[in-house]
Amino acid sequence: MNKVHDKVYDFTVTSLTGAPIPLSQYRGKVLLIVNTASECGFTPQYKQLQELHQQLHDRGFEVLGFPCNQFGRQEPGDADAIGNFCERNYGVSFPLFAKIDVNGSDAEPLFTHLKHAAPGLLGSEGIKWNFTKFLVDTEGNVVKRYAPQTAPSSLVEDIQNLLQK
């Protein structure tokens, strides 16, 4: 029987280095959870994600990146390759996690929860591409889902509104 998850904090995920990370360690923070890829047309969004992280981290904001190879095989590397690519090309200092599936029977349970809590267009739960973003409030509730083409820099107002609550 699967445990029912009400909050993002109820999940434990795997870090890029293979360690279990309970998301409860982010309790009280605003989170932007993103499925990422290193060889995608949207990969330059890493730069804006890093800028958001740097700009708002001290106010209680975290970007959490989850590499995914389900869309066009655009994340073929292993954990070391992913980490090195992100740091070298975009100076990524926000947490990256182990490569996951976001759709299908092997989908990471966190993403199953995110998709159900914030469906896409016409109620569709499936993630359509890399760099789909989910905004989570300080209580661990999924507040909003953003399409891959939505620039991270355009989310500043939404994030700041949650940080002020």
pLDDT at 2: 45
pLDDT at 1: 35
Number of domains comprising the chain? 1
User: What mean pLDDT, rounded, does the chain reach?
Assistant: 89
Rounded CA separation 132/100 (Å): 14
Rounded CA separation 128/96 (Å): 21
Residue 2 included in any domain:
no
Residue 124 above 90 pLDDT? no
The catalytically annotated residue of 40, 56, 82, 117 is 40
- Binning pLDDT at 50, 70 and 90, where does residue 145 land? very high
86 included as an active-site residue: no
Residue 38 included in any domain:
yes
Which of 2-11, 62-71, 100-109, 122-131 has the lowest average pLDDT? 2-11
Which of 93-102, 123-132, 148-157 has the lowest average pLDDT? 123-132
Q: Which residue has the higher pLDDT, 42 or 100?
A: 100
Residue 139 included in any domain:
yes
Residue 89 included in any domain:
yes
Residue 134 above 50 pLDDT? yes
pLDDT at 125: 82
Q: What is the pTM of this model?
A: 0.91
Q: How far apart are the first and last CA of the chain?
A: 36
Give the residue-averaged pLDDT of 116-140.
Answer: 87
Q: Which residue has the higher pLDDT, 2 or 146?
A: 146
Give the residue-averaged pLDDT of 18-27.
Answer: 95
- Supply the range of the domain harboring residue 144: 8-163
Instruction: Residue 127: give its domain's CATH number.
Output: 3.40.30.10
Residue 1 included in any domain:
no
